[in-house]
Amino acid sequence: MTNIKDVAERAGVSVATVSRVLNGRSPVAETRERVLAAVRELGYRPNNVARALRTARTGALGLIISDLTNPFFTELADAVEDAARSLGYSLVIGNAGERPDQQDDYIRTLLDRRIDGLLVSSAGTGSAMLSEAVASGTPLVLLDRTVPGIDAPCVRADGHGALTDLAAHLAALGRRRPAIIVAPGGTPTGDERLELFRTALAAHGIALPDERVGATLDLQHTGGRRVMSDLLDLPEPPDAVLATDNLMALGAMDELRARGLRVPDDVALVVYDDVPWFRHTDPPLTAIAQPTRDLGRAAVHTLLECVEGRRPDSVLLPARLVPRRSCGESRAAD
């Protein structure tokens, strides 16, 4: 990683001179131009966050959300903002749109804004600027999604108990051919939910073979509908489907309706991530609810511990199964 000494050597000046130029205090135009040319050639970016931490805090926190069009992440961002504001901090939000390059742009912008700390619900499996933020010493906490290779505490929900309960729930209702719509292999959240669900079903003698695992890079309505179509075209289509994202579940519902199939008479449908209107659909959707407001509060408190120079542990909060009527339940339990 390029540092200020590299710039000084390239420009043929002292480190102090580079610092003066970057702070707008160079009296000689020729020197200024030489330093700025070296900055451009080397791709050097001053570490504004580190400088801010050495001097004074800004009272601002940064939040990168993987996709603000997803209702779960919208509520999560709102929870983080409420928690930050209650503690006297302002919040600057960037929407990655599930694109690592867009995530990099926002991380770069937030670091240049001299935020006191950064929360990241990462797009994909991380990005170059996320690694750079950690390397630079920026106080950072991962939110909802772990990222391989990133050494930072993570605040997220634990789906183990809820998926165990779901497997027992489906077994009790006589659903023996479950399927899952999930993010593609290699994404920690998708891999974890798949393996937890598969293990929980096995305890009831129910298999989840690979042909009933549908993966999509498009974690949206369109991806959910496309995967549901593939699952329904199987020689033995599923009698229950778990969509591991609320937008994918909506796409799955559309495909079922387009084929004249009914929930739950033909196919049971469960969605991971509850949103308020799921209780008002026809039928009301059985869901796994994450403690969104609690996650937001815990994330802010964990980040502020990092800002204070401590090394907090990761936080796991339990998700819960909310049975309604989309699996053939006799009555809603919500």
- Distance (Å, rounded) from C-alpha 167 to C-alpha 169? 5
158-290: CATH class: alpha beta
10-24, 73-87, 230-244, 308-322, range with the lowest pLDDT: 10-24
Fold equal for 4-46 and 158-290: no
DSSP output for 34-57: HHHHHHHHHT----HHHHHHHH--
What is the structure's pLDDT at 125?
79
Task: Using the CB atoms, write b or e for 104-137: b if 16+ within 10 Å.
Answer: bebbbebbeebbbbbbbbbbbbbbebbebbbebe
What is the structure's pLDDT at 300?
95
Res 289 pLDDT > 50: yes
Res 154 pLDDT > 90: yes
What is the structure's pLDDT at 29?
66
Edge-first strand order for the sheet with 140-143 is 90-95, 60-65, 117-120, 140-143, 154-158, 315-318
What is the structure's pLDDT at 45?
67
Cβ atoms 325, 283 nearer than 8 A: yes
Res 66 pLDDT > 80: yes
What is the structure's pLDDT at 22?
66
Measured at the alpha carbon of residue 209, what is the angle toward residues 203 and 213, in degrees to the nearest 5?
110
What is the structure's pLDDT at 298?
96
Q: Which residue has the higher pLDDT, 62 or 28?
A: 62
Res 155 pLDDT > 80: yes
Beta-carbon neighbour count of residue 25 at 10 Å? 10
Mean pLDDT computed over 283-304: 96
Out of 3.40.50.970, 2.40.50.220, 1.10.260.40, 1.10.10.10, which CATH number does the structure's domain 4-46 have? Answer: 1.10.260.40
- Is the CATH code 3.40.50.2300 the one for domain 55-152? yes
For the chain, the straight-line distance linking the first and the last C-alpha, in angstroms and rounded, comes to 53
- Distance (Å, rounded) from C-alpha 33 to C-alpha 21? 9
User: What is the percent of the chain with per-residue pLDDT over 90, rounded to a whole number?
Assistant: 66
Extract the runs of DSSP E, i.e. beta strands, from the chain: 60-65, 90-95, 117-120, 140-143, 154-158, 178-182, 213-215, 240-243, 268-272, 286-289, 315-318, 320-322
Domain ranges of the chain: 4-46, 55-152, 158-290
| pLDDT tier, 1 (very low <50, low <70, confident <90, very high otherwise) | low
Cβ atoms 294, 237 nearer than 8 A: no
